[in-house]
């Protein structure tokens, strides 16, 4: 099992709270345990052997902490010289992977899913792209998914107040060659690749009820710190 973790963002909305490290390195406790370590712990529990960390803003902080291995997982780095957005970052990191299917995680989101079950689901549906979906209630911060009965993604719906809906949980399983024909080096995976290609790429949603937290805004970052014992 291999995974790419997108850890290169600026974290603009969090910078007045965590300003001296990249957002995935935001400390979760008084010992300075970084959020990214929680993600790597999660991958290790499911037998991940190789992680590519996509780094940009203050990426040396991440290199200095994890070096070239963590636990028994080998670590490589895909460094951005300029911001490539999510799609460009994944495209640059994929050549460092060797498996036919690769997981991708957002470095500011923790979603307690079963990676083994998600991989089996991806393969069972012969999917090209599978995302972990989380059911939410009474929210307006996230866009939602329109799903067929078999779980195939039919559309991505923009953010608006919702009483209930399934959201993109920020964990993906994709075929390693999925972006091979994309000419652009800088693009949004979600807005410029996934949303326009729901009809010609086999995309599925893997539903999970696991714990979910996105530390992109201060109130949720503080909630993640309070919940640290549940997710470490």
pLDDT in tens, 40-88: 999 999 999 999 999 998 999 999 999 999 999 999 999 998 999 999 9
Question: Average of pLDDT values for 92-102?
Answer: 97
- What per-residue confidence (pLDDT) applies to 223? 93
pLDDT tens per residue across span 108-125: 999 999 999 999 999 999
Percent of the chain at pLDDT > 70 equals 96
pLDDT category at 19 given cuts 50, 70, 90 is: low
Residue 10 pLDDT > 70: no
- What per-residue confidence (pLDDT) applies to 130? 98
Out of 3.30.360.10, 3.90.550.10, 3.30.710.10, 3.40.190.10, which CATH number does the structure's domain 2-231 have? 3.90.550.10
**149, two tokens:** 């009965």
Question: Average of pLDDT values for 174-188?
Answer: 96
Q: Where are the domains of the chain?
A: 2-231
C-alpha pair distances (Å), 197 with each of 39, 153, 179:
29, 10, 12
8 with 25: CB under 8 angstroms? no
pLDDT category at 15 given cuts 50, 70, 90 is: low
Question: Average of pLDDT values for 205-215?
Answer: 95
CA angle 6, 230, 11 (to 5 degrees): 30
pLDDT tens per residue across span 125-176: 999 999 999 999 998 889 999 999 999 999 999 888 889 999 999 999 999 9
- What per-residue confidence (pLDDT) applies to 174? 98
Q: Mean pLDDT score of the chain, rounded to an integer? A: 93
CA 157, CA 188: separation in Å to the nearest integer?
16
Residue 12 pLDDT > 70: no
Residue 231 pLDDT > 80: no
CA 165, CA 214: separation in Å to the nearest integer?
17
Nearest CA to 121 out of 53, 157, 171, 163 is that of 171
Residue 230 pLDDT > 80: no
For 45-83, b where at least 16 C-beta lie within 10 A, e where not — what string?
ebebebbbbbbbbbbebbeeebeeebeebebebbebeee
Name every residue whose Cβ is closer than 8 Å to that of residue 190 and which is 6 or more positions away in sequence. Answer: 86, 87, 156, 168
Question: Average of pLDDT values for 199-227?
Answer: 93
């Amino acid at each position: 099992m291999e995974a790419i973790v997108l850890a290169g963002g600026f974290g603009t909305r969090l910078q007045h709270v965590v300003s001296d490290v990249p957002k995935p390195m935001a400390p979760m406790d008084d010992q300075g345990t970084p959020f990214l370590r929680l993600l790597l712990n999660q991958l290790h529990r499911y037998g991940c052997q190789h992680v590519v960390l996509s780094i940009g803003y203050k990426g040396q902080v991440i290199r200095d902490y994890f070096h070239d291995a963590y636990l028994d997982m080998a670590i490589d780095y895909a460094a951005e010289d300029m911001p490539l957005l999510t799609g460009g970052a994944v495209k640059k990191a994929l050549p460092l992977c060797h498996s036919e299917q690769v997981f991708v995680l957002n470095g500011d989101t923790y979603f307690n899913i079963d990676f083994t079950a998600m991989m089996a689901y991806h393969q069972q549906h012969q999917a090209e792209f599978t995302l972990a979906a989380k059911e939410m209630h009474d929210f307006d911060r996230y866009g939602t998914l329109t799903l067929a009965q078999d779980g195939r993604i039919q559309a991505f719906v923009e953010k608006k107040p919702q009483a209930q809906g399934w959201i993109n949980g920020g964990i993906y399983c994709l075929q390693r060659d999925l972006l091979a024909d994309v000419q652009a080096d800088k693009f949004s995976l979600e807005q410029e690749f996934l949303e326009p290609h729901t009809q010609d790429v086999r995309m599925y949603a893997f539903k999970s009820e696991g714990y979910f937290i996105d530390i992109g805004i201060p109130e949720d970052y503080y909630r993640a710190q309070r919940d640290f014992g549940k997710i470490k």
